[in-house]
A and B are shown apart, each in its own frame.
Chain A
Amino acid sequence: PLQSNSNDGDAIKVYVRVRPLTQGTGLTTDGDRSLCLAVTSEHTVRLNSKPEPRNFTYDHVADMDTSQESVFSFVAKNIVESCMNGYNGTIFAYGQTGSGKTFTMLGPNELTDFSDELRGVIPRSFEYLFFLISREVEKSAGAKSFLCKCSFIEIYNEQIFDLLDSASASLFLREDIKKGVFVEGAVEKYAASAAEAYQVLSMGWRNRRVASTSMNRESSRSHAVFTMTLESKEMGQGVVNIRTSQLNLVDLAGSERQRDTHAEGSRLKEASSINRSLMCLGQVIMALVDVSNGRSRHVCYRDSKLTFLLRDSLGGNAKTYIIANVHPGSKCFGETLSTLQFAQRAKLIKNKAMINEDTHGNVR
């Protein structure tokens, strides 16, 4: 009954998942069994901050015992279904390094087959998608056919790399009037089954790790975006009806690395070395311009690559779920707080573009 709270109009939904405490993994919490938060209902979590504990409310809060299957059915099922109906969908995983993002999205390391109970949201989405596809094809008795393409890119330092072609140079984002924002020149691989899609994913994922050692990049400093483009063709009375939709699965960089992009506090940008230009002056001015009184103005500083790429997911007509992963250990208090706050703000993320409508309301 409480589920009906989350009405369909919301562009973005937030699912908070609390991971179990870890042992012997080298995380900061080793040995310390005390917790900084408690799941108080299926929508709320209480953070033991001082002096007053703070409560946060989300579309769903999953405690430490939540199964992978349950995460999938809550978050992804609906999104995969609407993808079949021609709508775009996006699932983000957000959280501090070590908070369980990869486990949630992918499953345990070195996962190889689909029988593993611990497999994550992505393999389960593949299975479900292809299950739905074959059911549709059967039902339509051949009148309907599907085509599924996968691409996998990584955004690091505001540059885009193709994980399916590790030899490629950095790529550019472009926009097309019909197909929206896309990465120009990104490799697209066809997948005819869940296993094939998973193969593409793991190939790219491996590239991501290789990259992290050979080029001194940490995987947690990059965003990885796996995109499935689903094209359905329906023949009927001599007319061919084509529909396309996209499913984006996004593993965001560790939240602790994102302080710069989500810079809030009052840290000053520094012009440390004498010859460097004052890069962030523009950001300061931009903030001034932003608080303007509704006048039309142009801001020259562009969105980050990630928000540009997923622009449609952030408040268009796409279905979007953010999975915020948190670690309950006391020592993670700071990061957990910032993740919970981010997740709450995420609900407010909307494309602010307004209708150009005269507001002074002259009625003639």
Chain B
Amino acid sequence: MASTNSREWKAVCEKFRQAQDLSEIESRKDPENDPFRSKYKARELLKEIHCTVKNFEVDDRENEDRETDGQSGEHGDGEAINGGVHQVHAGDSRAGLRAAKLGVIEYYLGVNHIETEELSAGEEYLMTCLKLLDECTVTRENVSLLIQVRNQLGILWAGRDETETAQGFLEKAESIYTHYMKEDGQPPLDLVDFFVLEEDAPSQQERIRRFEMAYTHTLYYLAQVYKNMGQYERAGQYCHSTLQRQLKFSQFVPLEWAINAATLSQYYITKTRYMEARHCLAAANVIAGLAGEVPSEAAAKESEVEYEKREQLRQKRAEIARCWIKYCLNLLQDAKKLLEDNIGELDLDRQEELQRARRGEEEEKERGRKTAFLFDSTDTFDSICSQEEKVSCIFPLSFDEARAIFLVGQNYVTQAKEYFEMDGHVTDHIEILQDHSALFKVLAFFEEDLERRCKMHKRRVDMLEPICKDLNAQYYLLICRQLQFELAETFYEMMDLKLAVAEKQDQPDAHTIKKFNHLCSASIKYYQTFLDSIRSPEGKFPEKLEDDVLRPALVAKFRIARLQSKIITGNLATQLENLSLSLESYNFVVQYCENHPESKKSVETELELSEEMVSLLPIKINRIQGRIASSN
């Protein structure tokens, strides 16, 4: 082979450098109408290099034959890595090095063709590269190439909708990495190492960086492949590993990483894995902090760059805060599900049972904490842990525990609202308020004192009612409906609480009755507004309800029916009127389900009760009519 300092070799290296430049730097400036100009030039150079290297090969053929005889069969573990294919060369033998050298050029030619949209040709080069190396054991000389060529083939086949083929290449790349790190683990060579003069060679650190990056990409592609195959659990795992490696090898843009981690927390939430979710969020907080200080408002006014930066930082941090809100909310809601009895009240026996069970687990908790999923960057680990300490990741079982989580959530509500102001971010702002309301709602579940519970619901009303009044339904119909319904429900809940309080008293006073009736009519009003929003522009209620409003609309009718019958009045005529209205609404539910039998399953319980009421109420109405008649 030509010696590494011969003039000929220097020329090859120079060509290689030019090809790299053309492909990576020049090509970005290519004109739209000739987008691959530099890539084509790079391709020509690569082809020339390929020829030269081939010629070296002819010179050295005799040596090669002799050498391989002596070496075959000596590399047991290499064989295992290569899946039982019979290897002829050691990766670091002369023949192995030549294969790697040729392979690198084949690889770059392959990538070049793929980038210029000649996929089949690209594939051929990549496969040739693979074949050359298949005869070699895995060594520090070729391991990087072995992984990268498979990454490329994975991308290529995924683009052809052959997901399983892609998966095969990528999983192989993954196992090559794992084996290599276990068996050898020496800092590997980089692809360019074969074609640069010593003085231009990448540093050891840079080599490691590129190698680890290639493997991170393998995981990143696998995450996508698993997602495309519907293997969400695995995809999630690979997303996590990708993030973890980015952090470990300092290969990330802080804000972007933080947002990815925060989004991943939302995946864990849907899987009720709160420990992992919290870890992601804590890490997101810490890493977002690395993106720097938020420029002041004054600075933002001065320069556009500062403005953009301020906007970005504030927005992303607010987004992360919103992910935290969801964390607190879901944790509380899941705990509620665990603790509630069949009518949705706190089940005290169950609460005690769970608390006892938890005391038993206390010691095991620390041991059970898995380290596999931790973001283990040494620089940030401690800060991440201290973020985690601020909020629990186990289900709250008492009011105090629930309140602690609620307060964290509420704190993030305040943070998120700082950026997502009503003026300019209507939808986001309202979504945050809705979460805030939901936090109060679930906290109220843990509160045993009925009056205090009622006050929590009042807080919900206070935050939602003004917006509901101001929001333009022409543009925000769906949000309006959500708010109307939620307000109706909140008043309904307050009505129920007042009723429970009143039942404890012997004789409710006039003030209590007035309050109670007010809650009833407020609830009716919002249910009615919601129902009106379903009407057509001409004011007609639809014959058939759309799927997304079917259950809400029928539930609204049902609740109105119940509320009408609850209103307290001493006047028989008014009572009669209320009961007739109530009957009318119960009848609506029953009639609708009769006309549209397919809707029965979405309101089973309500329908059953409505049917019962439709048969009972007329009797009650008759009795009152009788009393009115007799009193006249």
The residues of A with any CB-CB pair to B shorter than 8 Å are 8-9, 82, 85-88, 174-181, 216, 218, 245, 265-271, 273-274, 277-282, 284-289, 291-293, 295-301, 311-312, 315-317, 350-351, 353-364
CA distance A108 to B322 in the complex (A): 50
Contact call A179/B486, Cβ cutoff below 8 A: no
Q: Hey, which chain A residues are within 8 Å of B546, CB to CB?
A: 9
Neighbour of B154 across the interface among A178, A268, A269, A357, CB < 8 A: A268
Stretch at the interface among B261-269, B361-369, B374-382, B509-517: B261-269
Query: What is the minimal beta-carbon distance from B501 to any residue of chain A, in angstroms?
Result: 15
A175-B425, A270-B155 known; A355+B485 contact, CB < 8 A:
yes
Q: How long is the Cα–Cα vector from A361 to B605 in the complex, in angstroms? A: 7
List residues of chain A with CB within 8 A of the CB of B476: 180, 312, 316
Q: Which residue of A lies closest to B251 (CB)?
A: A277
Contacts of A300 in B (CB 8 A): 259, 262-263, 316, 319-320, 322-323
Pick from A179, A350, A355: contact of B552, CB under 8 Å: A355
Judge whether B454 is part of the interface by a CB distance below 8 angstroms: no
Least distance between A183 CB and chain B CB atoms (Å): 12
**B residues adjacent to A (C-beta < 8 A):** 24, 31-32, 154-155, 158-159, 161, 163, 166, 210, 213, 216-217, 220-221, 223-225, 227-228, 232, 235-236, 239, 242-243, 246, 251-253, 256-257, 259-260, 262-264, 266-267, 269-270, 316, 319-320, 322-323, 325-326, 329-330, 333, 343-344, 422-427, 434-435, 438, 467, 470-479, 481-482, 485-486, 489, 496, 530, 536-537, 542, 546, 548-549, 551-552, 555, 603-606, 609
Contact between chains at B242 and A288 (CB < 8 Å)? no
Q: Which residues of A contact B435 (CB under 8 A)?
A: 296
Check if B551 sits within 8 Å of A296, measured CB to CB.
no
B239-A175 in contact (CB<8A):
no
Q: Which residues of A contact B475 (CB under 8 A)?
A: 88, 179-181, 312, 316
Question: Knowing that A296-B329, A316-B475 are A-B contacts, what are 20 other residue pairs whose CB atoms are under 8 Å apart, sorted by A's residue number?
Answer: A82-B537, A175-B426, A176-B423, A266-B158, A268-B158, A268-B224, A277-B252, A279-B256, A281-B243, A282-B256, A288-B232, A288-B236, A289-B266, A291-B232, A292-B267, A298-B325, A300-B262, A312-B474, A353-B482, A364-B496
Distance A317 CA – B485 CA, assembled complex (angstroms):
18
CA distance A220 to B263 in the complex (A): 33
Report if A364-B344 is in contact (Cβ < 8 Å); known contacts: A278-B220, A284-B224, A354-B548.
yes
Show 19 residue pairs from A and B whose CB-CB distance is below 8 angstroms, ordered by the A residue.
A9-B542, A265-B161, A268-B158, A274-B213, A277-B253, A277-B257, A281-B220, A281-B223, A285-B239, A293-B270, A298-B266, A299-B263, A300-B263, A316-B475, A316-B477, A353-B482, A356-B438, A362-B343, A363-B609
* Inter-subunit contact A316/B478 (CB<8 Å): yes
In the complex, what's the smallest C-beta–C-beta distance from A296 to chain B, in angstroms?
6
Residues of B within 8 A of A85 (CB): 537
**Given known contacts A278-B242, A364-B496, A179 and B270 CB-to-CB distance under 8 angstroms:** no
How many pairs of A and B residues are in contact by the CB < 8 Å rule? 203
Task: Report the Cα distance A174→B227, complex, angstroms.
Answer: 33
A357 touches B555 (CB 8 A): yes
Contact A285 B267 (CB under 8 A): yes
Which chain B positions have C-beta within 8 A of A361? 555, 603-606
Contacts of A287 in B (CB 8 A): 227, 235
Candidates B239, B325, B426, B474; contact of A281 at CB < 8 Å? B239
